[in-house]
A and B are shown apart, each in its own frame.
Chain A
Amino acid sequence: MDYSRPELADRLAAEYVAGLLRGPARRRLEALLPAHPALRTAVRAWQDRLMPLTAVVEPQMPSPMVWRRIEQRLHGDSASAAPSAASWWRQLAFWRGFSALAGVAALVLAVMLANPGPVQPPIIVVLSAAAPEAGAAPGAIAPASFVASISADGRSMVTKPITNVRLQADRALELWSLPASGAPRSLGLIAADKASVVQRGKVLEGTDAFAVTLEAAGGSPDGKPHGPVLYVGKLTL
């Protein structure tokens, strides 16, 4: 069959998405998808048309076992802690003190509270904007701006901007390790436009979260953060 014929591609896509293609016919179409853009486009269009119908299907809560098995298969965790809101409140309290200390007027962390995470080993930390964008819906999740990946031994980390960060020439971005209590520890300057490698010995030691502040060029002169907190990312172990 000539799957590039639009009407045929459309008909097959419709039946596929509606669930009517079965057995060998279904497998054949799935095998063809990667090589046939017209077919792929048609399938996507039919998914857009028909999937909203499922909005009326009554939701069914899966048993807690399902999530445990998913975690187990993906990360080999024998047990994963339930998302902990408490640790986030602690962090918020900490940040309030921190912001007073650093003279930062407005720190909006409520947005971070919307996304409590399960306990997990350190691999990747996403640093999101500390304040939501103007016009963002309440409870919206701040767009991620940096991704930090930390080596398994916790000795080095790489930060990489994933959104366009503009920086004045006389300003620099400084990365901080935030302990659960006590003063932030500088991990050095990071680039706004390209990946930076941070090697400060024990990156993870005592670290509860990472933050990026806006500092004068050259970084904070006294090892304490001065500028506003631009991005924060919670480290969950």
Chain B
Amino acid sequence: MPTPQRDWSERSQELSRLLARAGVGDRAAFATLYENTSAHLLGVVLRIQRDRAQAEDILQEVYVNVWRAAQSFDAAQSQPLTWLTSIARNRAIDGLRRTQTQPQLQTSLPNPDNEDSDVYDTVADDAPGPLDLLSRASDARALATCMESLNAPQRQSVALAFFDGLSHAEVAANMRQPLGTVKSWVRRALMSLKTCLESAVRRDAGTTPG
């Protein structure tokens, strides 16, 4: 079974070609690009914007932008799915600005009677929680090792922020921790992730770190 990373890179080549063709006005290529990527992008947007109608509006904006910006996509600089996913995430997060005064997970605070429960067990619906997603993402080899290197609160804070689009303040509210503490968890988590992934790349390249 291909790992998510392998799958990711195989799709990349085809998507790069489709984007290049969309960039010169090929609507058929753009349609194929949409068929191949829209479900993924909607999945990503829906984690952040849970209202389906709004999420689909965002998706529409995303592809209108993609068509217009396809010409500027540079396969030498970016992976196509990374580029597309970034556009979708940015749109989804921008969309949150308007509703930011009503954090969406406010109703899912952990039960105070059960201090030991993992706060993410209580996250709203039956969709996988952000932490479930992290552990699945961890099937990808390098990411797995690096995610393991984070401590639990660091992992949780990154998962909530990244998958569900929570702000620092919302992560703090969800984890019932002071804002400053959460900020420093996230910052340290991201920096350890970076260091870890960079050394994994060096190992892959067959060189020793340093």
Residues 36-68 of A, flagged 1 when their CB comes within 8 A of B and 0 if not, give 000000001011111111111111111101110
**Residues in A neighbouring B59, C-beta threshold 8 A:** 62, 66
Contact among B18, B26, B86, B190 for A124, CB-based, below 8 A = B26
Number of A-B contacts (CB under 8 A): 179
In the complex, whether A70 has a CB less than 8 A from a CB of chain B is: yes
Stretch at the interface among B42-50, B104-112, B116-124, B202-210: B42-50
B160 shortest CB reach to chain A, Å:
10
- Docked-complex contact B31 and A55, CB < 8 angstroms: no
In the complex, whether B85 has a CB less than 8 A from a CB of chain A is: yes
Look across to chain B and name the residue whose beta carbon is closest to the beta carbon of A144.
Answer: B21
Q: Which of A52, A53, A59, A149 has the most CB of B within 10 A?
A: A53
In the complex, whether A228 has a CB less than 8 A from a CB of chain B is: no
- Which B residues from 87 to 132 make CB contacts under 8 A with A? 89, 93-94, 96-97, 100, 127-128
In the complex, whether A90 has a CB less than 8 A from a CB of chain B is: no
In the complex, whether A236 has a CB less than 8 A from a CB of chain B is: yes
- Docked-complex contact B161 and A51, CB < 8 angstroms: no
Look across to chain A and name the residue whose beta carbon is closest to the beta carbon of B53.
Answer: A63
With A44-B78, A51-B82, A61-B42 known to touch, is A23 a contact of B56 (CB < 8 Å)? no
A interface residues, how many (CB within 8 angstroms): 57
Distance between Cα atoms of A20 and B90 in the complex (Å)? 11
What is the size category of the interface that chain B forms with chain A? 35 or more
- Which A residues from 100 to 141 make CB contacts under 8 A with B? 115-118, 120, 123-124, 126, 137, 140-141
Contact among A20, A23, A67, A162 for B24, CB-based, below 8 A = A162
- Docked-complex contact A52 and B28, CB < 8 angstroms: no
In the complex, whether B176 has a CB less than 8 A from a CB of chain A is: no
Distance between Cα atoms of A58 and B125 in the complex (Å)? 14
Distance between Cα atoms of A126 and B17 in the complex (Å)? 12
Please give 14 more A-B residue pairs, beta carbons under 8 A apart, in addition to A26-B93, A67-B34.
A18-B158, A19-B161, A22-B96, A22-B100, A54-B44, A57-B47, A57-B133, A58-B128, A62-B38, A62-B39, A62-B56, A70-B67, A116-B28, A141-B14
| Chain A to chain B contacts (Cβ below 8 Å), 30 pairs | A14-B191, A18-B190, A22-B93, A23-B100, A44-B77, A46-B194, A48-B78, A49-B197, A51-B79, A52-B143, A53-B143, A54-B44, A57-B47, A59-B42, A60-B42, A61-B38, A62-B56, A66-B56, A66-B60, A70-B60, A73-B60, A74-B64, A83-B31, A117-B28, A118-B28, A118-B31, A126-B21, A137-B10, A140-B13, A141-B18
